[in-house]
A and B are shown apart, each in its own frame.
Chain A
Amino acid sequence: GAGVSQSPSNKVTEKGKDVELRCDPISGHTALYWYRQSLGQGLEFLIYFQGNSAPDKSGLPSDRFSAERTGGSVSTLTIQRTQQEDSAVYLCASSLVESQPQHFGDGTRLSIL
Chain B
Amino acid sequence: SQQGEEDPQALSIQEGENATMNCSYKTSINNLQWYRQNSGRGLVHLILIRSNEREKHSGRLRVTLDTSKKSSSLLITASRAADTASYFCATDARFQKLVFGTGTRLLVSP
Total cross-chain contacts (CB, 8 A)? 46
A106 and B45 contacting across the interface, CB-CB below 8 Å: no
With a cutoff of 8 Å between Cβ atoms, the chain A residues found around residue B31 in the complex are 99
Query: Which residue of chain B has the shortest Cβ distance to A103 in the bound complex?
Result: B45
Q: Which residues of A contact B88 (CB under 8 A)?
A: 42-43
* A-chain residues with CB within 8 Å of residue B40 when the two chains form the complex: 106
Interface size class of A (residues with CB under 8 A): 20 to 34
Interface residues of chain A: helix, strand, loop or mixed (majority): loop
Contact of A56 among B45, B97, B99, B102 (CB under 8 A): B97
* Inter-chain contact A101/B2, CB cutoff 8 Å: no
Query: CB-CB contacts of A25-42 with B at 8 A, as 1s and 0s?
Result: 000000001010000111
- Tell me if B100 and A99 are in contact (CB < 8 A): no
In the bound complex, CA of A35 to CA of B100 (Å): 10
A41 partner, pick from B42, B45, B92, B102, beta carbons under 8 A: B102
Which residues of B from 2 to 52 have beta carbons under 8 Å from A? Answer: 2, 30-31, 33, 40-45, 48
Name the CB-closest residue of A to B46.
A101
- Could you say which residues of chain B place their CB within 8 Å of the CB of A67? none
Please count how many residues in chain B sit with their CB below 8 Å of the partner chain's CB atoms: 21
Q: Which of B48, B92, B100 is in CB contact (< 8 Å) with A42?
A: B100
Q: Are B92 and A99 in contact (CB under 8 A)?
A: yes
In the assembled complex, the Cα of A31 lies from the Cα of B46 at a distance in Å of: 19
Known interface pairs A91-B43, A99-B30; 20 further A-B residue pairs with C-beta atoms within 8 A, sorted by A's residue number: A4-B42, A33-B97, A33-B98, A40-B105, A41-B102, A41-B103, A42-B102, A42-B103, A45-B97, A45-B99, A48-B97, A93-B43, A99-B31, A99-B98, A101-B33, A101-B48, A102-B45, A102-B98, A104-B42, A104-B44
Contact surface of A with B, Cβ cutoff 8 Å: 4, 33, 35, 40-43, 45, 48, 56, 91, 93, 98-99, 101-107
